[in-house]
Amino acid sequence: MSTSTVTPEIAAFARGVRAALADLPPDEVEELTEGLEADLAEAYAEDLQRELPDAAAYATELRAAAGLPMRTQVVKRGVLAGLAQGWRDTQKDLVIAVRRNPTLAAAMEFVVSLSPVWWVIRAWLATWLVAAFFGSEQGYGVQGGFWWLVLLGFTIVSVQWGRGLWHFSGLPGLILIGNVVAIVALLPVLAASDGWGGSSEAGYAEAPFDESSGISLAGTEVTNIFAYDAQGKPLSNIQLFDQDGRPMMPVSGSDTMCGDDMCDRRLAVVGTKLETGVEAFNVFPLSLVPVTDGTETGETAPVAGATATPPKAPFLKVPAVLVPEKVAKSNQ
Amino acid sequence: MDATQLLKGVLDVAVLAVVEDEDGYGYDVVRRLRAAGLEEVGDASVYGTLRRLYTAGALTSYVVPSEEGPHRKYYGINAQGRATLDLQRKVWNEFSTTMTNLLEAS
């Protein structure tokens, strides 16, 4: 055995190797690199032409041969790379913790085997988001072969990335952000595409209102309509139809409404007989009759002896309309 | 075919065989492997392999202090290492015979 001195270059190189192994436990690094300076010094002394290799590459070779986990990426500058590195470190710690528990390990294995499903889901989500971004009203619907093509393209890219192919510098950070966005978007997108139609906002706006409730104004149900003539006097027995000729019925005959603030009294709408014999509910103002409380029996009946009366109009009289004389005359 | 690729698969048994003759420290093992004809062998690969075999329980290890320079870490084979080496010798003999027959037959 020849004795050799450790040159400053060798000392610096050994420091570089240890730094590249710094993610391992200190004991491990110590064990792995103990005697490194002596070995290097001897190798140097034997072959003066010898050049010191790259410390990081040397550390990688050492690590691989020792069967130790690879450092997935040398620490890089940049937010994306930093995030990705942090994510990988957390993953690594988690994986180690999980492996120590057999039940968790089995569960983890199962979850990992499902990752291809996630690759497809995230491609679907990306397609949906892009479709929504470009104003496709249904978001990502079944319609439109174009979006199926986009989905196909995204799926191929997503699966390739998932398999570790088609990678480029900075991609791990992008994938991380993409996964987070996809997870966050998953619930709203599922909700929006689940038969509500339209965007999620429309779904939320429509949901609280029953379609059978005929007319609403600023979100409040309209239960009666009061008409006034040009002079501002209240009118009765006005028949109203919408633009398509449908009778405007704010409520149907089976609906009841509160007769007072506490809802102790219930009122039912009374239809008006037309000359055809049909009972119409688009004749305003609608008359109301007190009914028995049907919450328990499920059926309501007019209170004995009660008569249908038109409810009190909100105004006795409203301001008259300023009508140009000619028009006013032709009206009469 | 690259000899360095083949070497990866047999480095363990090569290192065990070298240490079986005599205890050795890192660079000493490298030198003996190269002298035996494995010239492509990388220093770091050998040091890592020594460490892994030690962790696996096939080698013993001790540090020899040096007054003049940094101390050296020696590795020696133990009973488990010898058993491993015997087994791998058999595996290698069968494998190399199979490969030789295959390559010569074709």
Let me know if A41 is exposed, middle or buried by CB neighbors in 10 A (0-12, 13-18, 19+).
buried
- Is the CB of residue B4 less than 8 Å away from at least one CB of chain A? no
Q: For residues A127 and A247, what is the distance between their CA atoms, to the nearest angstrom? A: 43
For chain A, give the mean pLDDT. Answer: 76
When CB atoms are compared, the residue of A34, A43, A46 closest to B73 is A34
Proportion of chain B above pLDDT 70, given as a percent:
98
Q: Is pLDDT above 80 for B16?
A: yes
pLDDT confidence band for A297 (50 / 70 / 90): low
The pLDDT value recorded for residue A204 is 44
Q: Is pLDDT above 70 for A250?
A: yes
* Mean pLDDT of the B1-27 span: 86
If DSSP codes are grouped into helix, strand and coil, which group holds residue B64? strand
Q: Are A315 and A229 in contact (CB under 8 A)?
A: no
The answer to whether the peptide bond before residue A310 is cis (omega within 30 degrees of 0) is no
Q: Is pLDDT above 90 for A304?
A: no
Per-residue pLDDT of B40-61, as tens digits, reads 888 889 999 999 899 889 999 9
Proportion of chain A above pLDDT 70, given as a percent:
76
Question: Quick check: A67 and B66 CB within 8 A?
Answer: no
Q: What are phi and psi for residue B64, nearest 5 degrees?
A: -110, 110
Position A141, amino acid: G
Helices (H), chain B: 3-21, 26-35, 43-55, 79-105
Helix orientation angle between A115-133 and A171-192, rounded to the nearest 10 degrees: 70
Instruction: Name the closest residue on chain B to residue A43, using Cα atoms.
Output: B27
The pLDDT value recorded for residue A306 is 72
The pLDDT value recorded for residue A44 is 80
Let me know if A36 is exposed, middle or buried by CB neighbors in 10 A (0-12, 13-18, 19+).
buried
When CB atoms are compared, the residue of A6, A65, A68 closest to B70 is A6
| Tokens (6 digits) for A145 | 């072969």
The DSSP letter of residue A241 is B
pLDDT confidence band for B79 (50 / 70 / 90): very high
Q: Which residues of B touch A61 (CB under 8 A)?
A: 42, 44-45, 48
Q: Are A43 and B43 in contact (CB under 8 A)?
A: yes
pLDDT confidence band for A208 (50 / 70 / 90): very low
Per-residue pLDDT of A37-64, as tens digits, reads 888 888 887 776 667 788 888 888 888 8
Q: For residues A12 and A32, what is the distance between their CA atoms, to the nearest angstrom? A: 17
Per-residue pLDDT of A175-192, as tens digits, reads 888 888 888 888 877 777
Within a 13 Å sphere around the CA of A298, how many CA atoms are in the beta-carbon half?
A: 0
CB under 8 Å to A121, separation ≥6 — which residues?
A: A182, A186
The pLDDT value recorded for residue A198 is 43
Q: Is pLDDT above 60 for A205?
A: no
